[in-house]
A and B are shown apart, each in its own frame.
Chain A
Amino acid sequence: MGTEAVAVGAVILFATATSVPLGRYMARVFSGRRTWLDPVLVPIERLVLRLTGVRADEQQNWKQYSVSLLASNVVLWLATFAIVSLQKMLPLDPDGIGNMEPTLAFNTISSFVTNTNLQHYSGETGLSYFSQMFEATFLQFVTAATGIAACVALLRALTRDRETHIGNFYVDVTRASVRVLLPLALVVGTLLMWQGSPMTFRGAARAITVEGRPQTIARGVVAPLVAIKQLGTNGGGYFGSNSTHPYENPSPLSDLVETWSILAIPMGMIWTLGDMVRRQRLAVMLFAVMVAMYIPMVTVAVAQEAGGNPGIARLGVDQASGSMEGKEVRFGAPLSALWAVSTTVTSNGSVNAMHDSLTPLGGLMPMVGMWINGIFGGVGVGFINMFIFIIVAVFVAGMMIGRTPELLGKKIESREIKLASLALLWHPLAILVGTAIACHVWTATAHPGVALGWLHNPGPHGFSEMLYEFSSAAANNGSGFEGLGDNTAFWNISTGLVMLLSRYIPIIAPLALAGSLAAKPGMPETAGSLRLDSATYGFTLWAVVAILGLLMFMPVAVLGPIAEYLTLR
């Protein structure tokens, strides 16, 4: 446990240290300054923009920006829906995978287009190689870039003075995918291949084992997908078992690379903010507030998982290495707990251990991460969620000290607060109402265990399975308590709708907010202004997130994980 705790700390420090230059690089890319990768990447960027029919200097207001974003997403949705629905007729299907059933295809495509990557199918039996490449991996690039673009537009708006333009969607999305995600994915993909992640078009390997049994080993175009699934906070795995699978995550070293890839861009976005709005102290304060939420969650999860399952302790076996159900030996309990928290605070959703088998409080931490859904913040969108909390905290602080609330010299007025409230309240609404409907359907059905067969586990844990699924869909996360029998019409359609609404409401509302902020005149900050980079405001923000973001979920937390913890103790 001692050295393993050191490893956990080392990963966090390493990710933090490397996020600073990465964040600065991203700021240079998005403000059109020169970078050392330009000679290779700028020609690709120009080519994409030219073929798309966009001039690099074209400017859009928030409405035009949103329309471009939505129109491109509609086309992406239709094109990839067609691919998975017709994959049997398409090339590159060495394992003979059939077409995807319509409600499952609706769920899968909504899931990938919204950057959620909730998977109600299993990769090795549900997608052909063609679909893995041209649906899954492709969308993992473009939708992550869409999130980054929306965030960048927001940051740009904060620096504009009496202007309606906030940039161009296609320029931003192309820069994010070609100049940020692509080079990182090539490096990470190479490291993963080196460690043992396959990249082959040859189909499954057929072995006769040492003891003479046949064993079919699914392989495929794995490494490229895993690289971008981690970097783009997508999380959708090549195989059903995601990064617990030795082909997706072959070694402790690949685990380090992948955990870093989860955290790097979300952490880096904070420094991008500092650079773009020219307030490094503000970035430091925001980073500190996020770390002050992240570290306690990691600590609880690591302690719980390393402490083991009391139910197994009672059986007298040697549980010195912690709770190992659903975990892999090469990672161990602490690194699995670190991943579980990191993947949910950032809206990534990949797993290197089965979350359904986490200890009760160890499994509560991923839910807390998804409920807040703004620590470091997914690729782009996560920070947008934190931005909403920032607006609300400014409002609360302004009310408390009796001054007009303002953000970076811009007045926060009724319209901004309304838009922020809309984005803020949608999240708990989707999770709590969704879970309530699922519970109602379950209790209103006679013999639900046989008739519905959703829940794999009895008691409070069964409730947690439903709660987790809606939390994951609403947070655009994609991890799951996978015991839930979720490939049914009810879950495919309900979570599909939640994913779509939970993606576009929290993007469009803040873009509208950004447009309204950009149009306002900037006022010089005076001694009377609320200082956003002060420790006082930092503490206020932390408290607003904890109180507004978490308190609404207290009752369900008690009904699920906390009740289970108390019964198992």
Chain B
Amino acid sequence: MVKEIKRGMAFTVVTMVLFGGAYHVALWALGRVAFPDQTEGSLIRRPDGTIIGSTLIAQAFTGPGYFHPRPSAVGYNAASTGGSNDGPSNPEFLKAVEERRDATMALERVRANQVPSEMVTASGSGVDPDIPPDAADLQAARVASARGIPVARVRQLIEAHTEPPAWGFFGRARVNVLELNLALDRAFTAPAPAAVKYSGR
């Protein structure tokens, strides 16, 4: 039995060095050379080096001149991600969806059946960076009017930023909200900072 425990200890130490250590070092070294941007988290920086965010992680947008991401159960907190875990029959959940529907109808001036379900349901991670193209189209008129630019130009931008499914059939067509908003700011003047309210989250 003592022999077995000794072998167990030796095995634990050896494999810990191999799989806890060497395996990570190998992938880290490869990643640094081959995918330096992705392995650091696909960050976007301002010219002065400060970080704006990550293309893979949703951030809150509330101003009328920007496209809004999907609802988040964690307030887009990328340090503690998660979904709502609301069951499909939970009355409180269905009430929250109804309130989001009404808010979206009022904000975008549309009918209920024009509201895509993605915009009234929380994502699994709470930081889903994408919206489907119809959810972007839904917001085009509002964004255009807040910026005083033609809707057609905004729609062109949406189309340019629509990522099709892989090989035409795998996954879904989607629009990255942060990239689209940054493209908007590049193409047209950013909305006045006064229009942006700091919510504290």
Residues in A lying within 8 Å of B, measured CB to CB:
3-4, 6-7, 10, 44, 47-48, 51-54, 67-68, 71-76, 79, 122, 124-125, 133-134, 137-138, 141-142, 170, 173, 177-178, 182, 185-186, 189-190, 193-202, 204-213, 215-219, 221, 223-224, 228, 239-241, 244-247, 250-253, 255-256, 308-309, 311-312, 315-332, 335, 351-354, 356-360, 456-462, 464, 481-483, 564, 567-568
Q: Are B82 and A319 in contact (CB under 8 A)?
A: no
Determine the chain B residues whose CB is within 8 A of the CB of A245 once the complex forms: 81, 125, 127
Instruction: Please tell me if B187 contacts chain A, counting CB pairs below 8 Å.
Output: no
What range describes how many residues of B lie at the interface?
Answer: 35 or more
CB distance from A169 to the nearest CB of B (A): 9
Tell whether, in the assembled complex, residue A321 and residue B38 are in contact, meaning their CB atoms are under 8 Å apart. Answer: no
Interface centre among A177, A200, A459 (most CB of B within 10 A): A200
Q: Is B147 an interface residue (CB 8 A)?
A: no
> Does A189 contact B27, Cβ atoms closer than 8 Å?
yes
Query: Which 8 interchain pairs have the tightest Cβ spacing?
Result: A252-B171, A244-B124, A483-B85, A461-B87, A316-B112, A75-B8, A134-B20, A457-B87
Choose from A177, A328, A357 the contact partner of B19 (Cβ within 8 Å): A177
Do A215 and B78 touch (CB < 8 A)?
A: yes
**Chain A CB within 8 A of B107 CB:** no
In the complex the two chains form, is A48's CB within 8 Å of B14's CB? yes
Q: Which of B28-74 contact A (CB under 8 A)?
A: 28, 30-31, 34-35, 38-43, 50-54, 56-57, 59-63, 66, 70
The 8 Å CB contact of A325, one of B60, B84, B198, is: B84
In the complex, the answer to whether B70 meets A141 with C-beta atoms within 8 Å is: no
Interface residues of B (CB under 8 A from A): 1, 4-12, 14-16, 18-21, 23-24, 26-28, 30-31, 34-35, 38-43, 50-54, 56-57, 59-63, 66, 70, 76-91, 93-94, 97-98, 101, 112-118, 120-132, 134, 165-166, 168-172, 174, 178, 181-182, 185, 193, 196, 198-199, 201
Among B5, B19, B66, B171, contact of A137 (Cβ-Cβ < 8 Å): B19
Whether A75 pairs with B170 at a CB distance below 8 angstroms is: no
| Nearest-CB residue, chain B, relative to A141 | B19
Given contacts A75-B8, A212-B196, A312-B121, contact A330 B171 (CB under 8 A): yes
Cα A354 to Cα B82 in complex, Å, equals 9
Q: Which of B1, B15, B66, B125 contacts A241 (CB 8 A)?
A: B125
* Complex partner residue of B85 from A47, A75, A210, A354, CB under 8 angstroms: A354
A481: nearest residue on chain B (CB-CB)? B85
Shortest beta-carbon distance from B46 to chain A in Å? 8
Cβ contact within 8 Å between B86 and A357: yes
Whether the pair A7, B170 counts as a contact (CB closer than 8 A) is: yes
Q: Which residues of the other chain, B, contact A212 by a CB distance below 8 angstroms?
A: 193, 196, 198
Q: Are B84 and A357 in contact (CB under 8 A)?
A: yes
Q: Could you write out 14 A-B pairs with CB less than 8 Å apart?
A: A72-B11, A198-B38, A198-B39, A200-B41, A207-B59, A209-B53, A228-B19, A247-B41, A311-B88, A324-B121, A329-B172, A353-B124, A356-B85, A461-B89
Q: A308-B117, A325-B86, A330-B174 are in contact. Are A198 and B40 (CB under 8 A)?
A: yes
Determine how close the nearest CB of chain A comes to the CB of B19; give it in whole angstroms.
4
Kindly list chain A residues whose C-beta atoms are within 8 Å of the C-beta of B10.
51-53
B178 near A328: Cβ-Cβ < 8 Å: no
